[in-house]
Amino acid sequence: MKRLGKLKISLRLVIMIIIILAGVAPTVFVSLALVGSAISKDIDSSSIEMQSQVLIMADQLQSDDYLSHANTSSMNAVIDQIADIWDGRVQITNSAGRIVKDTYNVDRGRYNISEYVMRALGGETTSEYDDASKMFAIAQPLYSPTETVLVTSEEEIESGAEEVYQPALKGAILVTVDMSRRVTSLSQLQNQSYLLWLTVLLMMLMISVLVLIYVFKPYRRLISQLEHAQQGNADRIDVDTYSETARISELVNQSLQRTQALDRSRREFVSNVSHELKTPITSVRVLADSLNSMEGAPVEMYQEFMQDISKELERESNIIDDLLSMVRLEEGNVSMNISEVEVNTWLEGMLRRLSPIAKTSEVEITFESQRSVVASFDEPKLGRVVINLVENAIKYNKPGGHVHVQLDADYHYFNIRVDDDGIGIPEEALPHIFERFYRVDKARSREAGGTGLGLAISKQIVNMHHGSISVKSVPGEGSSFMMIIPLEYRENPAEAGEEDLEEMLQKEDRVLEDEVLRIIDGQEDE
């Protein structure tokens, strides 16, 4: 059963079957319908003809008063002739149902009490075809040409009604015809139609093969190019014969581009990691070699060199810790410790811890809250994002600069915006600001002690909360970072709703644009 479940049906086989059925099925249906219609029409025309002949014969039998002179040889000859022409049987009965004439000469003198005869003796004309036995039967009453009977009842006569007479019923004529030979001869047309079916089948088979060869040629070319791409021998797929193949080519090319970009990113990542880890080790080695080469150096110099070595080792440790954190975040191996947090108090506490760093850099931190906000999130992880954004705003600021942190919320999300009036970020660097090991000013970043992973880790943490983080900046005038987080954490990001997410992103863009314009206007006023 497992082996059968893995079997795949070829699309070409499906299309071939559809083409063959599209050609053969109508042919079979039409031929069957035509044969059935021919049989039905033949039966109908034969019944009409026989009914008219029976009426004529009944009139002649009544006018000759056949039932009173049943031995009339001339009339018997006519009856026998008609029976031979129809290849049927004619029986004539008297009013008691006794057979006085039978063209088969089998039942003469016996009584026929069949339904047809009884209905005819009741004055009813019957004409029926039995499809099961393929027999056609006609029963016609026979009346006397001279005798009449009173049909008006005594009660009606006493009430003044006129006396009504009608011919007296003398008997009935029953004609039965076996239609099986006619039906069989017409059904032989069905045997001839088998040859037509076979011819159509062969034609449809040839047409389907030709169609499949032509239609699937671009798909075979597409499969060939995909195989080359899988082996690494092609960077692009180009099969645009049909809109479907063009769309497939476009999607595959996009996947190839993403794969190539991922490969480049991995190579760059390995290169950056190697470089970042090698730099502190090189510094430590240089410092250690310098100490070893100096004889009789004072203790103060040894202490200074050892402090530098300690800083480089600490930097190496920070890089490794950040790398491990980022790997765990990307692999999803980090559990979320969600708790309900009073965001205003939480932010104020973190900014107080960062105030000594701001004072050392001669930067002022201000906090503005539009309303009291309570939200559910992982407090330590999101705190790391806030600390990273505020520390960057302090590090890349200027003496006497300002860092403004603002908290706001609506019914679904709360947002934290960190604005500074520092050196800003060049426009060409903005798309790469959240990439691993990306630095706008590498010399200043290393001098400030950064690892180049802070913003990349921050973006991963925000994504884990199903939020968004973005940046707007004007070089020389300042930067504005904004992160938007759902008030209620959800395991499934789709629960936030596409409309809410779209509204969130639009609001984020509007707020950041307004803030950048505000910064520009402030610089112009100065």
Domain boundary among 162, 185, 208: 185
pLDDT at residue 318 is higher than 70: no
Most confident residue range from 147-151, 232-236, 431-435: 431-435
Instruction: Write the CA distances from 361 to 49, 408, 415, 448, integer angstroms.
Output: 119, 27, 26, 11
Q: What is the pLDDT of residue 497?
A: 45
Q: What is the pLDDT of residue 322?
A: 61
Instruction: Write the CA distances from 75 to 90, 106, 108, 194, 457, integer angstroms.
Output: 13, 19, 16, 48, 117
Q: Within its chain, how far is the Cα of 443 from the centroid? A: 53
User: In the predicted model, what is the mean pLDDT of residues 513-520?
Assistant: 52
Find the distance separating the first CA and the last CA of the chain, reported in whole Å: 81
Cα 16 from Cα 212, distance rounded (Å):
8
Most confident residue range from 162-176, 231-245, 432-446: 162-176
Domain boundary among 131, 161, 185: 185
Cα 435 from Cα 11, distance rounded (Å):
44
Most confident residue range from 131-140, 191-200, 285-294, 416-425: 416-425
What does pLDDT average to over the chain?
A: 77
Of the ranges 84-88, 161-165, 416-420, which one carries the lowest mean pLDDT score? 161-165
Domain assignment present for 405 = yes
Q: Which pLDDT band holds residue 440 (cuts at 50, 70, 90)?
A: low
pLDDT at residue 21 is higher than 70: yes
Partners of 175 in beta bridges: 90, 138
Give the number of other CB atoms < 10 A from CB of residue 375.
21
Cα 101 from Cα 70, distance rounded (Å):
8
Domain assignment present for 324 = no
Q: Which pLDDT band holds residue 122 (cuts at 50, 70, 90)?
A: confident
pLDDT at residue 307 is higher than 70: yes
Domain assignment present for 163 = yes
Q: What is the pLDDT of residue 343?
A: 92
What pLDDT digit, counting tens, does each position of 148-181 carry? 777 777 777 777 777 777 788 888 888 888 877 7
Q: What is the pLDDT of residue 444?
A: 47
Output 340 or 231, whichever has higher pLDDT.
340
Closest CA to 93 of 175, 35, 22: 175
User: Is residue 367 exposed (0-12), middle (13-18) or buried (19+ Cβ within 10 Å)?
Assistant: middle
pLDDT at residue 408 is higher than 70: yes
Domain boundary among 163, 185, 207: 185
pLDDT at residue 375 is higher than 90: yes
pLDDT at residue 103 is higher than 80: yes
pLDDT at residue 496 is higher than 60: no
Q: What is the pLDDT of residue 403?
A: 93
What pLDDT digit, counting tens, does each position of 320-367 carry? 766 666 666 666 666 788 899 999 999 998 898 888 888 888 999 999
Domain assignment present for 265 = no
Domain with 480, as residue range(s), is: 335-525
Q: What is the pLDDT of residue 66?
A: 80
* Cut 0.75: pTM above it: no
Cα 82 from Cα 247, distance rounded (Å):
77
Q: Which pLDDT band holds residue 315 (cuts at 50, 70, 90)?
A: low
What pLDDT digit, counting tens, does each position of 455-479 carry? 888 888 888 888 999 999 988 889 9
| CB-CB contact of 50 with 175 (8 Å) | yes
Of the ranges 60-64, 73-77, 502-506, which one carries the lowest mean pLDDT score? 502-506
Q: Which pLDDT band holds residue 434 (cuts at 50, 70, 90)?
A: confident
Domain assignment present for 229 = no
Domain assignment present for 223 = no
- For strands 402-409 and 364-369, give the pairing: parallel
CATH of the domain at 45: 3.30.450.20
Helix (H, G, I), strand (E, B) or coil at 395: helix
Cα 111 from Cα 99, distance rounded (Å):
6
| Number of domains the chain is built from | 2
pLDDT at residue 35 is higher than 60: yes
Q: Which pLDDT band holds residue 498 (cuts at 50, 70, 90)?
A: very low
Q: What is the pLDDT of residue 5?
A: 47
Q: What is the pLDDT of residue 441?
A: 60
Domain assignment present for 112 = yes
User: In the predicted model, what is the mean pLDDT of residues 281-296?
Assistant: 73
CATH of the domain at 376: 3.30.565.10
Closest CA to 354 of 384, 309, 376: 384
Tokens 């410092």, residue located = 287
Domain assignment present for 292 = no
User: In the predicted model, what is the mean pLDDT of residues 122-136?
Assistant: 82
